[in-house]
Amino acid sequence: MSRQKPLRVLVVCLGNICRSPAGEAALIEAAGEAGIELAVASAGTGEWHVGDGRHPQIVAAGRRAGLHIEGRARQIASPEELAGFDLIFVMDHSNLVAVESMAPELADRVHYFRAFDGTDQDEVEDPYGRADHAYDETVRVVRAAARGIVEAIVDGRLP
């Protein structure tokens, strides 16, 4: 099926400096590999890092894996902002609760980022404060999950 406009996809974590920027980059990569167009953004539920660059450890882990991670942190501002997305992917349960309490009417657009990775895991573990190998694992997990999301879009299981 061809679409008039690319699907608008938001990836959400807590700080918007580690997991959701990696997820955003991985979704852009996976969409490119599949030859589909997605308009991907990311945001955090928390305010601590608004305006900061991506965490140096996730940028370095991306670089080791050949995934370019960039951008500045922003916080989800309003239910109206969330309503501008066709699909919203959260990294963990606390993000899910935050998004669904801000915009309960959008619950059917909200999924775990790992929901389509073929494992029984829901959450992308928070690497913040951990060693470099945890960030390498974040990149590995979000890449596999992003490919699953894109497959689900291509197959029509999403949105």
Residue among 46, 58, 60, 63 nearest 22 (CA): 58
**31 near ligand 4NP, judged by CB under 6 A:** no
Please identify which residue in 9, 10, 14, 139 interacts with ligand 4NP, judged by CB under 6 A: 14
32-61 residues in contact with ligand 4NP (CB under 6 A) are 48-49
125, with CB counted inside 10 A (0-12, 13-18, 19+), is middle
66-105 residues in contact with ligand 4NP (CB under 6 A) are none
Task: Identify whether 127 is preceded by a cis peptide bond (ω within 30 of 0).
Answer: no
Structure-block tokens of residue 145: 């999950």
Please identify which residue in 15, 23, 62, 148 interacts with ligand 4NP, judged by CB under 6 A: 15
Q: Which of 52, 86, 122, 126 is catalytic?
A: 126
Residue 7's contacts (CB-CB under 8 Å, 6 or more residues apart) are 38, 39, 86, 87, 153, 159
**19 near ligand 4NP, judged by CB under 6 A:** yes
The verdict on whether 19 is a catalytic residue reads yes
Please identify which residue in 17, 38, 76, 139 interacts with ligand 4NP, judged by CB under 6 A: 17
Structure-block tokens of residue 142: 């979000």
Mind telling me the catalytic residues?
13, 19, 126
- Residues in touch with ligand 4NP (CB under 6 A): 13-19, 48-49, 126, 128
